[in-house]
Amino acid sequence: MRRFILLIMIVFLAYVSKPLWEEHVQQLDPTTIMESFSSKVNEIKEDEAFLALMDSITQQIDLLLDPTDGPREERDVFEDIAAPELAEPREQPFSIHNVEIGNTRAEVEEIIGRSPNRSTLNEYGGNWNTYHHDYQNFIMVAYDEDDIVRGLYTNQDLIASSTDISLGSSMQFVQEQLGTPESVIRYGTFNYQLTTNGEYDVFHLDNKYVTIFYDQHENKTVTAMKVIDDEWVRNKTGLYTKPSQQLQEGFEYQLFDVTNATRRNHGLPLLTWDEHVRGTARKHSLDMAENEYFSHTNLQGQSPFERMKEDNIQFMMAAENLAYGQISSIFAHEGLMNSIGHRENILNKDLRRLGVGVAFNDDSKPYYTKKYFSS
């Protein structure tokens, strides 16, 4: 009897879900992190009544499959790991997870208590090494060839400073403590004018560039911090880094990781990396880069969802975020979080899988495509 009821439910789900794959998508206005950059969002959603029905049916199927366990959810419950006790930096204006620029790799991994979860190429020619436990206590650390820390990043409550600046501090407090932000940053032999739109400030402190990102949807409070040794910045030959397959993969995984760290902050289920949809995302980024356009609809008139179906990706719910011109995945992510439509996708609890595809145009500017879905 249970098998018969389960078969009926599966047939019902297959029948009612098909129209959702063909639903018209909503176009939202773009928002930029820098004046010359742009990004857009499309998404498809079920109505609330259908979602409630789906939840109920899913729970009934779970009970039929294993009536002693009740409903089961994918990656919704995590072991609670204690946050580190943060100490005032010993030698630097800022530390992240009690790590400072100049520490050795051995010191970092003794402090953090683990080896990296992932290591991928960054825009400075080094690697971002991510450390976390199910994206809790998330920190990215970049080492030079001598295993000395040259870069740090976090978007979690791991920031300590001698000026009491921390995650959640106001922009006004930051500027009162640190003074006037930089308006120009030098890469190699070129000076670049910063156009931040109030989304971040850059400070040159103690031979380091400190970028402090603000959440415009949380009263312009500190939401992330990046610290880079200024020698690494000066050694860059331009704003954009020469493309390579390693940099492409680095930007893709870095955008995935910072997205999941943000979802962890908000108590949301973590996204699972999907290699299949990454291929779809890469093809769209490459198409835009090669043909010099920026749109969710490609030159053949295909929507994001038609492109997914063409690649045999089946979904009940899907969304796509695009960004162009941001110098790294960190800037792309922080910009997307300050745009309400993109933010809704990043923080959508019903989306469960993500693939990121990056491509570069002839000027080395990256195109980012993020494709989320649930099946």
Domain extent, residue 295, equals 247-374
The string of pLDDT tens digits covering residues 4-16 is 444 444 434 333 3
HSE-up of residue 190 (Cα within 13 Å, Cβ side): 9
The string of pLDDT tens digits covering residues 226-248 is 999 999 999 998 999 999 999 99
Asked if the model's pLDDT at residue 29 lies above 90, the reply is no
- The Cα–Cα gap between 345 and 29 comes to 14
How are beta strands 366-374 and 317-324 bridged, if at all?
antiparallel
Predicted pLDDT of residue 190:
86
CA angle 109–115–119, rounded 5-degree value = 115
Same domain, 348 and 271: yes
19 domain-assigned: no
Predicted pLDDT of residue 74:
52
Of 361, 141, 284, 343, nearest in space to 335 by CA: 343
Same domain, 275 and 217: no
What's the average model confidence in pLDDT over 255-275?
98
What's the average model confidence in pLDDT over 15-44?
34
User: What is the SS3 assignment for 325?
Assistant: coil
Of 330, 142, 119, 325, nearest in space to 231 by CA: 142
- The conformation of residue 170, written as its DSSP 8-state character, comes to B
CB 132 within 8 A of CB 139: yes
Measure the CA dihedral 93/95/98/100, to 10°.
Answer: -90
- The Cα–Cα gap between 267 and 15 comes to 33
End position of a domain, from candidates 218, 239, 260: 239
Same domain, 98 and 153: yes
Average pLDDT of the chain, as a whole number? 84
CB 338 within 8 A of CB 215: yes
- The Cα–Cα gap between 283 and 307 comes to 10
End position of a domain, from candidates 239, 269, 293: 239
59 domain-assigned: no
Predicted pLDDT of residue 83:
85
> CATH no. for residue 104?
3.40.33.10
Asked if the model's pLDDT at residue 57 lies above 80, the reply is no
End position of a domain, from candidates 198, 213, 239: 239
Predicted pLDDT of residue 91:
86
Query: How many domains does the structure of the chain reveal?
Result: 2
Of 27, 31, 189, 165, nearest in space to 96 by CA: 165
Instruction: Provide the sign of the torsion angle of the four alpha carbons 129, 131, 134, 138, taken in this order.
Output: negative
60 domain-assigned: no
- The Cα–Cα gap between 224 and 206 comes to 20
**DSSP codes of every residue in 250-311:** HHHHHHHHHHHHHHHHTTPPPPEE-HHHHHHHHHHHHHHHHHT---SS-TT---HHHHHHHT
Q: Which stretches does DSSP call E strand in the chain? A: 26-28, 38-43, 94-96, 118-121, 127-133, 136-143, 149-154, 159-161, 184-187, 190-193, 200-205, 208-215, 221-229, 272-273, 317-324, 353-360, 366-374
85 domain-assigned: no
CB 204 within 8 A of CB 230: yes
Measure the CA dihedral 342/201/235/146, to 10°.
Answer: -90
9 domain-assigned: no
How are beta strands 221-229 and 149-154 bridged, if at all?
antiparallel
What's the average model confidence in pLDDT over 237-262?
97
Same domain, 206 and 280: no
Same domain, 110 and 234: yes
Return the percentage of the chain with pLDDT > 90, whole number. 75
Asked if the model's pLDDT at residue 133 lies above 80, the reply is yes
27 domain-assigned: no
Q: Based on the number of CB atoms within 10 Å of its own CB, is 241 exposed (0-12), middle (13-18) or buried (19 or more)?
A: buried
Q: Which residues contact 236 (CB under 8 A, 6 or more apart)?
A: 123, 124, 187, 188
- The Cα–Cα gap between 51 and 350 comes to 9
